[in-house]
Every structure is written in C-alpha cells, then in structure tokens.
C-alpha cells in the first residue's frame, strides 16, 4: 500500500462516521410531515449489524445480492453492510419488471433479493431468498471474519434495461464509486 489511502466505499463511510459521529447522516420522511433521522454512528452500527446477519447466512466475498427497492435509509444500510462482507451489489430500479429481475438474477447468480415484502409479494415465480427492507435483520458482526476489501475489488454491477436484447452489466469497483463520491464532495 506504500502509505496510499485505500479507496473503498466502506473506508469512506467509516471515515465519515469517525469525523461526523453524532451528526445526522440520513433523513427520510415517515408518516405525514415527520422525518426519521440516523446519525453517522447509528448508521454505521446498523451497517455492521446487517453485515453480521449476512455473515450468518454465509454470504461471501464476490456473492451477488440484488437490491430492488425505492431509495431509503435501509437501502443504503443494506448496500454498505453487503459491501462490508465483500458482496457485490446488483441494484435494480424499483420499477423493473419481474422478467428483467429474473434475467439479471440468473446472469449474476444472485444469492439474495433485498426488497420489501410488498415488492416481493408482487413476484410470481422467484425462488430467491428474501431479505425484507422493512425489517432489516441485524446480528453481531464478527470483524475477524470480514474479508479484506481492496479498491479494485468489484462493488457493484449495474445493468442496462435489456430492451433491445440481453441486459448488459457495467462492472464498478470500489475505487470507481469511491472516486466519484470523493470528487462530488470536493
């Protein structure tokens, strides 16, 4: 590493958590005009808790997990928790149709579908195991069993819509995403 800072998504979030601690990291509307907030520390605890749950499921470095949900705090918690255990995220637009979801799941050998019970109930033919975003599971994370994540490791596969043929995946490394986040913050 030669003194060079590793550019990974989780390293960026961990650094932000250390730096901003009890400041608000995530805000989202709940009922009526009320808002739900999470501090950086609380968000990091939930990320680690979800990573612990994925460890219990034996999700390993390189396993693909599909996230199919509207944007919300738990989407980010699931995303960061999965990356912490070395999983590769396959995000799908909330409006993606079932046939597209199934093609992408097959192409990536998806291990889990992370979505809401409501979204999941609308599927007719999936055998993918569900992780419910409405009640995101938590467990104690074993930090000693976390894989080493490098900046060139695969973080995400984003798919084209596949409207003119087979969907095509765009592979993004931790460095790709972290570099964009760092550039956007400056």
Distance CA 47, CA 49 (A): 5
Q: What residue segments make up the domains of the chain, in order of their start? A: 9-185
* CA–CA dist 41, 154 (Å, integer): 26
Asked whether the beta carbons of 158 and 170 are under 8 A apart, the reply is yes
pLDDT in tens, 86-142: 999 999 999 999 999 999 999 999 999 999 999 999 999 888 999 999 999 999 999
Using a cut of 0.85, tell me whether the model's pTM lies above it.
yes
Q: How confident is the model at residue 6 (pLDDT cuts 50, 70, 90)?
A: low
Sequence length of the chain is: 186
Per-residue pLDDT tens over the stretch 41-90: 999 999 999 999 999 999 999 999 999 999 999 999 999 999 999 999 99
Stronger pLDDT, 168 or 161, i.e. the higher one: 168
User: What span, in angstroms and rounded, lies between the C-alpha atoms of 152 and 139?
Assistant: 28
pLDDT band at 143 (very low <50, low <70, confident <90, very high): very high
Helix/strand/coil for 158: strand
**CATH node for 9-185:** 3.40.50.980
pLDDT at residue 2 is higher than 50: no
């Amino acid at each position: 590493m030669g003194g060079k800072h590793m550019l990974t998504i989780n390293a960026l979030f961990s650094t932000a958590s250390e730096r901003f601690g009890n400041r608000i990291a995530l805000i989202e509307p709940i009922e009526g005009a009320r808002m739900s907030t999470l501090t950086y520390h609380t968000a990091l605890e939930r990320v680690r808790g979800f990573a612990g749950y994925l460890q219990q499921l034996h999700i390993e470095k390189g396993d693909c997990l599909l996230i199919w949900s509207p944007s919300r705090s738990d989407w980010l918690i699931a995303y960061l928790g999965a990356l912490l255990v070395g999983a590769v995220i396959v995000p799908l637009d909330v409006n993606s149709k079932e046939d597209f979801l199934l093609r992408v799941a097959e192409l990536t050998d998806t291990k889990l579908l992370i979505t809401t019970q409501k979204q999941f109930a609308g599927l007719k033919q999936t055998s993918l195991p569900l992780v419910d975003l409405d009640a995101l599971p938590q467990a104690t994370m074993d930090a000693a069993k976390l894989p080493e994540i490098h900046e060139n490791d695969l973080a995400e596969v984003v798919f084209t819509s596949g409207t003119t043929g087979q969907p095509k995946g765009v592979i993004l490394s931790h460095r790709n995403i972290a570099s964009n986040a760092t550039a956007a913050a400056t």
